[in-house]
A and B are shown apart, each in its own frame.
Chain A
Amino acid sequence: MSSHYSDLVTSSPPWVGIYAGTVNSLSLGIVIIGKFSEIIFLNQWFIRKSGIDSSHYIGRALTSVFPELNQSHLSDSIDSALRRNLPAVLSHSLNKAPFPLFDNLDQPSQRIQQAIHITPLTLQTGERFCLIQVYDVSIAVKKERLLREQAENLRSLAFIDGLTGIANRRRMDEYLADEFKRAKRNHSPLSIVMLDIDYFKQFNDTYGHQSGDFCLQRVANVIKATLHRPADLVARYGGEEFAIILPDTSFSGAVILAEELRKNIEVLAIAHESSLVSPHITLSIGISKAQSYNNISEATLLSQADQALYQAKTEGRNRVRVFSEPSA
């Protein structure tokens, strides 16, 4: 065996040098493991990035140089290459960074992100080795994360009202459709609250649009703060109109919430000198509820809340009204 190797060296010296030089110049990690799971070779890239003392690893078991690899998927895969001659890929997504490799050895918190290929190498003599190629995929991972974040941002932007930061009409329509279906399936109650800022046009005329926008933001914040359950959704329905979807909420629950809202806005005491009902900003509120789900759609439910809101307005504003079927 050894004479065989020296034959190779003397008969073709330039090739051996070229091979060694190539492997050591690669910008990926090369590790070669022998049949007793011992390290036979590490290339320069791997030595540089792992910071291990090159005089100490040769002949030692991989898991004794890197104890954290004990019983890992990586060492199982190396075993399988050595014993069964089967290659393996270790994706970054499922393995992250198995080897402790660093671009900056002073910053051991930031491992190089890795994709790993494991290939068995069988010599003509039958002796088997295992070649491990370690790719640095840190840049691809970063790019991927960035793209994902951007996609999520875009998606959420498409569902959020730019001024108030709460859900927009589109998001509400989707949410209502889902919740309506769910309520119908489970025979659970579903309430809708519609509310409108009283004399908002006059507010804008008196204080200017900037103050109007600010007022809308404060009202939206109060509504958000008044809702307690994660399933409750408030959306800007249009101009100064807001809608709240309340799954699993009975009429009485919705009325209590609406009253609380109305009071919270009163307490806010945003001056509104051109209002005909109060010196401050007030709300008119209408409520509807799905009782039985026969012959009713989510559109009907919305329009019923709207009708109740209209009633609250015609009856003098700054009040809560619930929808009731007009008696025949």
Chain B
Amino acid sequence: MKKLSELQQDALLEIFNIGVGNAANSMSQLINAEIKLSVPKLQILLKDHANVLNAFVHSNRICAVSQNFTGPLNACAFLVFPEGKTQEIVHRMMGESVSAEELNDMEAEALSEIGNIILNACISSMSDTLQTDFESTLPRYHLGSAKEIFPIKEEDNQFMLLLHIDFSMPKQKIDGYLVFLLSLESFNELIRKIDLFLSGI
């Protein structure tokens, strides 16, 4: 399988950091409070995606918001949090104390919006840097095990781009993940676009 060079990784990380930086700005304005987002780490996985993710989020059930992006390359993009953490994010953003065990419908919708802002911002940053255009579905909310949420078949040869995301709000720091599932074809196209961008420097 392909291993990314340091520079290719750097380029990807920078794209996502600019994306989440923009998203943090929109969200801070939306709720009138300071939110900071950064993406310090990137990994590429080819096997056992669901298990790896479970191990990362230390929770059997995860909450996710997904959008499918199509264009010169296709990707299923997810913003993922351990189940319990989403309440903290949503309630703090809504200015309420944490109470219920599970997000109710309206809170799930709020989380979808947060995911939508972050995922759109990442894709926008990618379009700007790599000069590509994407189409996207509306965000969907998921709750369940990583196996249930990620539509992966072992034989599919799917690449998973796994990015650690630091979500910090006043008095609160939450770890989440950005996950992009790409076919081998789309992954190669992504690398090609990155190389094209790097060669222009």
Interface string of B82-109 (1 = CB under 8 A from A): 0000000010011000011000111101
A85 adjacent to chain B (CB < 8 Å): yes
* Shortest distance from the beta carbon of A7 to any chain B beta carbon, whole Å: 27
Q: Which residues of B contact A80 (CB under 8 A)?
A: 120, 124
In the complex, the answer to whether B106 meets A86 with C-beta atoms within 8 Å is no
* Shortest distance from the beta carbon of B89 to any chain A beta carbon, whole Å: 11
A26 adjacent to chain B (CB < 8 Å): no
Interface string of A144-162 (1 = CB under 8 A from B): 1000100100000000000
In the complex, the answer to whether B127 meets A117 with C-beta atoms within 8 Å is no
Interface string of A69-102 (1 = CB under 8 A from B): 0000100100010001111111111110000000
Q: Which residues of A contact B21 (CB under 8 A)?
A: none
B34 adjacent to chain A (CB < 8 Å): no
Chain A contributes a number of interface residues (CB within 8 A of B) equal to 26
Q: Which residues of A contact B93 (CB under 8 A)?
A: 93-94
In the complex, the answer to whether A119 meets B106 with C-beta atoms within 8 Å is no
A28 adjacent to chain B (CB < 8 Å): no
The verdict on A93 contacting B136 (CB below 8 Å), with A73-B26, A88-B116 known, is no
In the complex, the answer to whether B109 meets A86 with C-beta atoms within 8 Å is no
In the complex, the answer to whether B120 meets A89 with C-beta atoms within 8 Å is no
In the complex, the answer to whether B138 meets A119 with C-beta atoms within 8 Å is yes
In the complex, the answer to whether B135 meets A89 with C-beta atoms within 8 Å is no
* Shortest distance from the beta carbon of A35 to any chain B beta carbon, whole Å: 15
Q: Bound state CA distance, A93 and B93, in angstroms?
A: 9
In the complex, the answer to whether B30 meets A94 with C-beta atoms within 8 Å is yes
B176 adjacent to chain A (CB < 8 Å): no
B123 adjacent to chain A (CB < 8 Å): yes
The verdict on A91 contacting B138 (CB below 8 Å), with A73-B26, A80-B124, A86-B124 known, is no
In the complex, the answer to whether A84 meets B109 with C-beta atoms within 8 Å is no
Which residue numbers of B lie inside 8 Å of A, CB to CB? Answer: 26, 29-31, 67, 90, 93-94, 99-100, 104-107, 109-110, 112-114, 116-117, 120, 123-124, 127, 133-139
Q: Which 10 A-B pairs have the closest CB atoms?
A: A93-B110, A91-B113, A91-B109, A91-B110, A86-B120, A87-B138, A73-B30, A93-B94, A89-B113, A89-B116
Which residue numbers of A lie inside 8 Å of B, CB to CB? Answer: 73, 76, 80, 84-95, 115, 117, 119-120, 122, 137, 140-141, 144, 148, 151
